[in-house]
Amino acid sequence: MYSEIKKRNACTPAKLKQIQNETLQVFCRLRPLVSPFNESCIEILSDSTIQLTLPDTSVNYRTATCVKYQYSFQKVFSDSNPQKEIFDEVVLPLVHKLIKGNNGLLFTYGVTGSGKTYTMTGEKNNIGMMPRCLDVIFNSISEYQAKKFVFKPDRMNGFDIQTEQVAKKELEESLKRIARCGRLRKNQSQEDLISARSNDGTKCEDINPDNAYAVFVTYIEIYNDNVFDLLENINETDICMKLQTKIIREDAYQNGYVHGVTEVEVKSADEAFEIFYKGKKRKRTAQTILNTESSRSHSIFTIRLVQAPLDMNGIEVDQNKENICISQLSLVDLAGSERTSRTNNTGERVREAGSINNSLMTLRNCLEVLRENQRTGILKKIPCRDSKLTRLFRIFFEGMGDIRMIICVNPNKDDYDETVQVMKFAEASQEIVLKPTPLKPTPMKTDGKRKANQIYKKALRNLEEVKERESIAYIPDDAEMIYCLEPFPSLENTDPFDADFNKNLMNFLEDRIKKKKKLQTDIAARVTKFRAIFLEREEKYLKFQRELDAVSARRECENIKIKTLEDKVVSMDTNINVLRRKCEEYTNEIKRLRQDNDNKENIIQQYNVEKDKEKRINQKMAAKTEKLAKEKENSIKEKKQIESQLKEKEKKLRRVKKALDSQEDFPYKGKMTKIDDDLDTEIIASSNENEVVSTQTPVLPPQQHLLSPSKSSSVVSNLRYNKTTCGNHDQWLDHRPTIIAPLNTVLQPTLKRRKSFTTITSPKDVNKNSKYCLMTQNQDEDGSVETQIYKGDVVPTCGGGAQIILNDVEILRQTSPVTSPPISPKKKKVNGHNTAIAAHSSSSLYPDIANRCAISVEGHSIKNK
Ligand SMILES: Nc1ncnc2c1ncn2[C@@H]1O[C@H](COP(=O)(O)OP(=O)(O)OP(=O)(O)O)[C@@H](O)[C@H]1O
């Protein structure tokens, strides 16, 4: 198989125009896919062309030479086009023609379930073509409707005219009958459907106001090629009675009609719709695989519009039957073509399907032959009599009247094979040229009769009112005389010697002349009367006119004033609005400024706080600077003192050395030489008040008291400690380094009652002692050793622990007096204890040591900080 696009019936714009004017118009409407799982085989190429793609499910898939076919129509409507759009495009022109007196035929054609009934009838809130037609007709003629029963079907597809009086009597009888039988009740869904209809107010403007209109509806179905009247006995209570088959006849104008069909006169669209629903209940539908409510018959709803001119007085319908103009619009909802293989129908349904397909086939044949006849010029017999449907509309299918067809298509690929058949039919139909039926002339007498009558009646009513109000006696009681000139009798006379005819005519003319004279006298009197009234009225009128002018002038002035005031109000309003806006702006600005101000005040407050802080800090700094300056001064003083003392000591030492050197029996003479000038040992004992530097000369035995003086040397010592000798009665806690460097110095600490530790593990160890002594040793690069002994009191704390307050430091340094660097305190960390440093002991020389070693030991809480 090869892919090829075959253009069927492609229309050029010129041809389309021709189609629009002269040929049978075929429209295509696609319905939405039933399920999203269905596949479409149709694509809309333009608003007049669709393309069918041969699906692999088609019976012709293997044999087809082409896979794509294009079909053109008058217009293609997609599934998104609303009913209203389709109505305006397709059906509204038919309604226009109907009102003008032309017949029309609209039918929906397509495969079963393709949306024919949906298009024709529609659904609640989405009404179809039929209810829209009714709405437009009644919107147009409502003001000009004849009284009910004035037009009466003559059972031969024509109408008789009755006088209003007779019509009134008939109406009364009919109402009595209905009251006797009980009016048929509408069911709820029916009422819902009728009330849910939205009438969009569309109407035709071609109405002749001098005509009276009446609408009649019939509703029939053609089932198994039998015609049934769906409205038969509709006014009776037994609506379920078995319907009789009807026969089709032709009237004098060769229009087909159903003999004895019930034709119901309706006065509103709602009434017509109600009748339709009553008939629809009788329509044969069945549930099939392809449609839950499948029409098993062709249903035809016909709207007949009867119009006739009013009489000369514009009051009643002219009784001349020949002036009646009858036009009809038949809305045909064809049953869907179907393949039994797809529907799986059996029994009755198969018979129905066969009958449906036969009648559709006849319809297709008729149009096909008609097309052939028109093409070839050979007048082959059109087989209209082969089915009831084509027989009923024979005149249409022979090319007279206006036919429009809506081809309903389900784009589902499963429908492809049937859809192709529908398309072929549509193709054949579009080429048929239609001869429009000539408009039936409505005999016009005098235009504006209805209006004149209305004006006259209104004037009479007004005069009645004035008469009642003002008791004016000039209203002519015989006002209707004006209209009493009778029409001429028939003047046709074949016998010139017919004495009776001449006599009658003579009498008629004499009467007429008399009446005319009387009327003329009457008119003259009326004219005089009228003139007098007119003059009186004119005077009054002029008076009123003058008053009116004055009032108008005043009103004009007032208007100008009002206008000026209004302008002012408008400008005030504008100003107020402007001011309001400004006010809003200012309020916002004030808010913003207030916020700014608050922010700034906060900043200022912060700044002030900062400033106060700074001031306090500055004050503190000034105090500290002053204190430091004082301390510095003191330390310089002390330093100078120490230097001078050192110098003094040095001098003394040299003197001692000299003296010793001069003594022969001095046992340490050699050793002293070895030590020589550059070996010097100092013991510096510092206290809060003063600092004592003892210069050691000979190296004493190790157990000798630290501050005990040599026999012949002059020793400088701290008297306070000399007195206590490290407290003979005190229990000392001797806190030593792990490894002690051998001192071999003259001065050694002597602690009688002591307990030595390298690490303090328990606060109890501290509590048992009253004194504390911490020894540290440091050795620098030159090999000089410095031993520091920090002494303090153990003071119990209120928390149950103990606090050591260092209050003294002894430093023993072994160094060369010349090369040794200046004494620098070394930091020593006290291990293994929770310590708090409190500077109770201070030394200007060793502030750091003092700070670090004034410790307290808190035994009750050991925290790792
Ligand atoms: N254009 C549409 N939009 C939405 N629903 C649609 C449309 N056309 C048809 N349907 C829905 O599809 C279903 C079948 O439609 P419908 O009864 O009008 O088909 P049909 O051609 O008259 O079938 P049959 O020939 O068997 O009587 C209905 O339920 C109808 O509501």
- DSSP conformational letter for 440: P
Return the residue whose CA atom lies nearest to atom 12 of ligand 1. 115
User: pLDDT category, 844, cuts 50, 70, 90?
Assistant: very low
Q: 113 C-alpha vs ligand 1 centroid, how far in Å?
A: 5
Contact between 433 and 23 (Cβ < 8 Å):
yes
- Using CB distances shorter than 6 Å, the residues near ligand 1 are 31-32, 79, 110, 112-118, 123, 291, 293-295, 335-336, 408
Mean pLDDT across 30-47: 88
Q: 116 C-alpha vs ligand 1 centroid, how far in Å?
A: 6
Return the residue whose CA atom lies nearest to atom 1 of ligand 1. 31
Rounded distance between C-alpha atoms, residue 304 and residue 102, angstroms: 10
Tell me the average pLDDT of the chain: 76
Q: 31 C-alpha vs ligand 1 centroid, how far in Å?
A: 8
Q: What single letter denotes the amino acid at residue 40?
A: S
Q: 229 C-alpha vs ligand 1 centroid, how far in Å?
A: 24
Rounded distance between C-alpha atoms, residue 681 and residue 334, angstroms: 139
What is the position in ligand 1's atom list of the atom closest to the CA of 290?
A: 26
Structure tokens at 359: 């009648």
What is the position in ligand 1's atom list of the atom closest to the CA of 288?
A: 26
Contact between 813 and 684 (Cβ < 8 Å):
yes
Where does residue 575 rank: exposed (0-12), middle (13-18), buried (19+ CB within 10 A)?
exposed
What is the position in ligand 1's atom list of the atom closest to the CA of 296?
A: 27
Return the residue whose CA atom lies nearest to atom 26 of ligand 1. 294
Q: 587 pLDDT exceeds 80?
A: yes
Ligand 1, residues 28, 30, 31, 108: which to mutate, most atoms within 8 A of Cβ? Answer: 31
| 3-class secondary-structure state, position 157 | coil
pLDDT in tens, 59-92: 777 777 788 889 999 999 998 999 999 999 999 9
Which is nearest to 690 in space by CA: 715, 713, 719, 714?
719
Return the residue whose CA atom lies nearest to atom 31 of ligand 1. 118
Contact between 323 and 303 (Cβ < 8 Å):
no
Element (H, E) at 353: helix 348-376
pLDDT value of position 757: 79
Rounded distance between C-alpha atoms, residue 518 and residue 485, angstroms: 11
Q: 75 C-alpha vs ligand 1 centroid, how far in Å?
A: 20
Structure tokens at 775: 């020894």
Separation of first and last alpha carbons in the chain: 95
Q: 135 C-alpha vs ligand 1 centroid, how far in Å?
A: 22
What is the position in ligand 1's atom list of the atom closest to the CA of 336?
A: 25
Q: 117 C-alpha vs ligand 1 centroid, how far in Å?
A: 6
Q: 256 pLDDT exceeds 80?
A: yes
pLDDT value of position 758: 81
Return the residue whose CA atom lies nearest to atom 23 of ligand 1. 113
pLDDT in tens, 270-297: 899 888 888 888 877 656 655 666 677 8
Annotate 14-57 with DSSP letters as a single string: HHHHHHHHHBPEEEEEEPPPSSTTS-B-EEEEETTEEEEE--TT
Q: 328 pLDDT exceeds 70?
A: yes
How many Cα atoms sit within 13 Å of 46 on the Cβ side? 10
Most confident of 272-281, 446-455, 456-465: 272-281
What is the position in ligand 1's atom list of the atom closest to the CA of 408?
A: 21
Where does residue 528 rank: exposed (0-12), middle (13-18), buried (19+ CB within 10 A)?
exposed
Q: What backbone torsions phi and psi does residue 52 show, to the nearest 5 degrees?
A: -100, 135
Q: 122 C-alpha vs ligand 1 centroid, how far in Å?
A: 9
Q: 118 C-alpha vs ligand 1 centroid, how far in Å?
A: 5
Considering the segment(s) 669-857 as one domain, its CATH architecture is Sandwich (2.60)
Measured in residues, the chain has a length of 865
pLDDT value of position 342: 59
Lowest mean pLDDT among 254-263, 568-577, 639-648, 764-773: 764-773
pLDDT value of position 292: 61
Ligand 1, residues 29, 117, 356: which to mutate, most atoms within 8 A of Cβ? Answer: 117
pLDDT value of position 335: 84
Return the residue whose CA atom lies nearest to atom 16 of ligand 1. 115
Angle at 333 between CA 332 and CA 334, to 5 degrees: 100
Q: What single letter denotes the amino acid at residue 601?
A: E
Which is nearest to 41 in space by CA: 378, 417, 355, 352?
417
User: pLDDT category, 691, cuts 50, 70, 90?
Assistant: very low
What is the position in ligand 1's atom list of the atom closest to the CA of 121?
A: 18
Q: 289 C-alpha vs ligand 1 centroid, how far in Å?
A: 13
Contact between 810 and 789 (Cβ < 8 Å):
yes
What is the position in ligand 1's atom list of the atom closest to the CA of 114?
A: 21
pLDDT value of position 440: 56
The ipTM of this complex is 0.97
What is the position in ligand 1's atom list of the atom closest to the CA of 333?
A: 22
What is the position in ligand 1's atom list of the atom closest to the CA of 294?
A: 26
Contact between 308 and 318 (Cβ < 8 Å):
yes
Annotate 785-850 with DSSP letters as a single string: EEEEEEEEEEEE-TTS-EEEEEEEEEEEEEE-TTTPPPP-PPP-PPPSS-EEE---S--SS-HHHH
3-state SS, one letter per residue, for 333-347: ECCCECCHHHHCCCC
What is the position in ligand 1's atom list of the atom closest to the CA of 293?
A: 17
Q: 115 C-alpha vs ligand 1 centroid, how far in Å?
A: 3
Calculate helix-pair angle for 269-280, 129-141, nearest 10 degrees: 150
Rounded distance between C-alpha atoms, residue 624 and residue 638, angstroms: 20
Where does residue 72 rank: exposed (0-12), middle (13-18), buried (19+ CB within 10 A)?
buried
* Per-domain boundaries in the chain: 5-430, 445-472, 476-662, 669-857
pLDDT in tens, 120-140: 998 878 889 999 999 999 999
User: pLDDT category, 362, cuts 50, 70, 90?
Assistant: confident
Q: What single letter denotes the amino acid at residue 133?
A: C
Higher pLDDT, 97 or 827: 97
Q: 292 C-alpha vs ligand 1 centroid, how far in Å?
A: 9
Annotate 635-664 with DSSP letters as a single string: HHHHHHHHHHHHHHHHHHHHHHHHHHHH-T
Q: Which CATH number fits domain 5-430: 3.40.850.10, 3.40.50.2300, 3.40.47.10, 3.40.50.1100?
A: 3.40.850.10
Return the residue whose CA atom lies nearest to atom 14 of ligand 1. 113
pTM of the model as a whole? 0.55
Q: 414 C-alpha vs ligand 1 centroid, how far in Å?
A: 16
Q: 81 C-alpha vs ligand 1 centroid, how far in Å?
A: 15
pLDDT in tens, 95-106: 998 998 888 999
Cβ atoms within 10 Å of 264's Cβ, excluding its own: 20
Q: 723 pLDDT exceeds 50?
A: no
Return the residue whose CA atom lies nearest to atom 10 of ligand 1. 115
